[in-house]
């Protein structure tokens, strides 16, 4: 007799990862340290070296476009998105969706409120970060393996979610599993706060391209008739997204062509009377205070937005009117996003 809840489970195997960065060595304090560094092309990190070699033979030495297909109709299965934190270990300590978190407490998994990393002392102390894991087939590779692509990029997550929904629309409600589309890694310009100044930086973001137009949308066909049972995403600490040694320093970026008025620096916000009053009113802990000030600097928050974040549920209290935010001061992706 079969074992209920076990004998009926089927899973396809994962053949490895597609990375958006590579390992580089730098000297720090007289020692050689390994860091991840962003890449302008996809990098294969497969379990099978021959499969890896074939991947580059098909897509080139520095591929920026890969033809992929999803193994399921349910994006919650093949494109999971969570806030995750690991602390100094490789095992997952906590993951949440912005409302509910599952956290290891005294060796037991418990459910707790998840206010998002900017509002959570545990997240700040343990390096919580948004991570999305895309699992897909790659055209031209033998076998029936899925490959995992991890990203923490805000833009990449939005682009991929949008592309998946567009594919679903183009298919007219029919299955999207097994339909070949193009996964693209492309260059994009953004503004970031570097050493207290707004700078033009280059980031690399993923998007999906559906290889048809409205004139030939009927050519989108699925090569399978049923979705596959996926393995759960690899939840081990991803050293490319949450490295113990931090990220490799990039060369100083070129200044923006036109001067941009930057938001106040961390220091000036910290001493601003209205901000000080808001921290006092909210009885903000030192850890959370430091985290909010760092987030304000990195993301170009106005004073008003920082005060909103500080007061949270107490936002009905009287606060200074927020200054208008500069559109160019908003960061699309922080510099270490992959």
- Check pLDDT > 70 for residue 334: no
- The answer as to whether 213 is a domain residue is yes
279-287 mean pLDDT:
75
Which residues, in sequence order, are CB contacts of 273 under 8 Å at separation 6+?
Answer: none
State the residue for tokens 């009926």: 8
Q: Which of 164, 186, 219 is the last residue of a domain?
A: 219
- Average pLDDT of the segment spanning 224-238: 72
- Considering 164, 192, 219, which residue would you say is the last residue of a domain? 219
> Counting Cβ atoms within 10 Å, is residue 24 exposed (0-12), middle (13-18) or buried (19+)?
exposed
- Structural domain includes residue 39: yes
Q: Measured between alpha carbons, how far is 109 from 228 in angstroms, rounded to an integer?
A: 28
Task: Say whether pLDDT at 106 is over 60.
Answer: yes
Considering the domain architecture, whether residues 24 and 125 belong to the same structural domain is answered as yes
Summarize pLDDT for 160-197 with one digit per residue, the tens. 999 999 999 999 888 999 999 999 999 988 877 766 77
Position 239 in a domain: no
Which residue would you say has higher pLDDT here, 323 or 65? 65
In a domain? residue 231? no
Q: Are residues 150 and 68 in the same domain?
A: yes
Structural domain includes residue 70: yes
Q: Is the pLDDT score of 265 beyond 60?
A: no
> Is the pLDDT score of 262 beyond 60?
no
Could you tell me if 64 and 167 lie in one domain?
A: yes
Residue 79 is predicted with a pLDDT of: 96
Whether residues 325 and 209 share a domain: the answer is: no
Average pLDDT over residues 200-208: 90
Position 111 scores a pLDDT of 92
Which pTM was predicted?
0.70
- Name the residue range of residue 89's domain: 14-219
For residue 293, the 8-state DSSP code is H
* Contact partners, residue 141, CB within 8 Å, separation at least 6: 15, 51, 54, 55, 58
Q: What is the pLDDT of residue 139?
A: 96
Tally of structural domains, the chain = 2
* Angle, alpha carbons 228-234-237 (nearest 5°): 165
For residue 243, tell me if it sits in a domain: no
**DSSP letter assigned to residue 96:** E
Q: What mean pLDDT is predicted for residues 130-137?
A: 94
| 42 and 190 inside one domain | yes
- Asked whether residue 281 carries a pLDDT value surpassing 90, the answer given is no
pLDDT in tens, 53-74: 999 999 999 999 999 999 999 9
Judge if 101 and 32 occupy the same domain. Answer: yes
Position 105 confidence tier, pLDDT thresholds 50, 70, 90: confident
Percent of the chain with pLDDT over 70: 79
The Cβ-side half-sphere exposure at 12, using a 13 Å CA radius, reads 21
Mean pLDDT of 257-270: 52
Q: What's the rounded mean pLDDT across residues 309-329?
A: 47
Average pLDDT over residues 260-275: 60
Looking at residue 40, what is its pLDDT?
A: 93
Residues 208 and 306 in one domain: no
* One domain for residues 157 and 270: no
Residue 259 has pLDDT above 80, yes or no: no
User: Span 270-293, mean pLDDT?
Assistant: 76
Of the spans 187-201, 266-280, 314-328, which averages the highest pLDDT? Answer: 187-201
Residues 79 and 212 in one domain: yes
Band the pLDDT of 275: cuts 50, 70, 90: confident
Say yes or no: 38 and 158 in one domain: yes
Mean pLDDT value across residues 311-325: 47
**Cα dist from 202 to 181, 185, 253, 257, whole Å:** 25, 13, 8, 14
- pLDDT surpassing 80 at residue 290: no
Residue 271 in 3-state DSSP? helix
Instruction: Tell me if 256 is assigned to some domain.
Output: no
Evaluate if residue 102 carries a pLDDT over 80: yes
DSSP string covering 107-135: TEEEEEE---GGG-HHHHHHT-EEEEEEE
233 assigned to some structural domain: no
Name the average pLDDT for the chain. Answer: 80
Q: At 324, list the tokens.
A: 């208008």
Rounded to whole angstroms, the Cα distance separating 244 from 127 reads: 10
pLDDT at residue number 228: 67
Residue 314 has pLDDT above 50, yes or no: no
Examine the domain organization and report whether 98 and 192 are in the same domain: yes
Same domain, 281 and 207: no
pLDDT at site 249:
58
């Amino acid at each position: 007799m079969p074992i209920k809840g076990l004998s009926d489970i089927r899973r396809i195997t994962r053949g490895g990862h597609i990375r958006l960065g590579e390992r580089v060595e730098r000297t720090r304090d007289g020692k050689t340290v390994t860091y991840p560094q962003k890449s302008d092309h996809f990098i294969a990190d497969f379990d099978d070296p021959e499969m890896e070699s074939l991947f580059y033979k098909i897509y080139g030495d520095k591929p920026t476009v890969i033809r992929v297909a999803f193994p399921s109709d349910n994006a919650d299965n093949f494109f999971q998105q969570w806030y995750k934190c690991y602390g100094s270990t490789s095992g997952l300590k906590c993951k949440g969706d912005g409302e509910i978190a599952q956290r290891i407490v005294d060796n037991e998994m418990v459910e707790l409120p998840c206010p998002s990393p900017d509002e959570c002392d545990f997240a700040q102390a343990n390096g919580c970060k948004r991570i999305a894991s895309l699992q897909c087939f790659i055209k031209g590779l033998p076998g029936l393996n899925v490959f995992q692509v991890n990203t923490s990029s805000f833009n990449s997550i939005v682009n991929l979610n949008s592309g998946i929904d567009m594919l679903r629309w183009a298919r007219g409600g029919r299955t999207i599993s097994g339909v070949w589309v193009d996964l693209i890694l492309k260059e994009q310009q953004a503004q970031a706060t570097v050493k207290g100044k707004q700078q033009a930086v280059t980031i690399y973001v993923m998007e999906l391209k559906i290889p048809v137009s409205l004139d030939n949308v009927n050519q989108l066909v699925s090569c399978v008739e049923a979705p596959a049972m996926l393995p759960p995403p690899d939840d081990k600490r991803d050293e490319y997204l949450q490295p113990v040694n931090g990220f490799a320093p990039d060369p100083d970026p070129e200044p923006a062509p036109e001067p941009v008025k930057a938001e106040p620096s961390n220091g000036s916000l910290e001493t601003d009377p209205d901000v000080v009053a808001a921290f006092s009113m909210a009885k903000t802990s030192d850890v959370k205070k430091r985290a909010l000030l760092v987030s304000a600097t990195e993301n170009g928050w106005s004073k008003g937005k920082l005060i909103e974040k500080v007061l949270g549920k107490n936002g009905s209290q009287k606060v200074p009117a927020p200054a208008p935010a500069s559109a160019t001061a908003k960061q699309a992706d922080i510099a270490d996003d992959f």
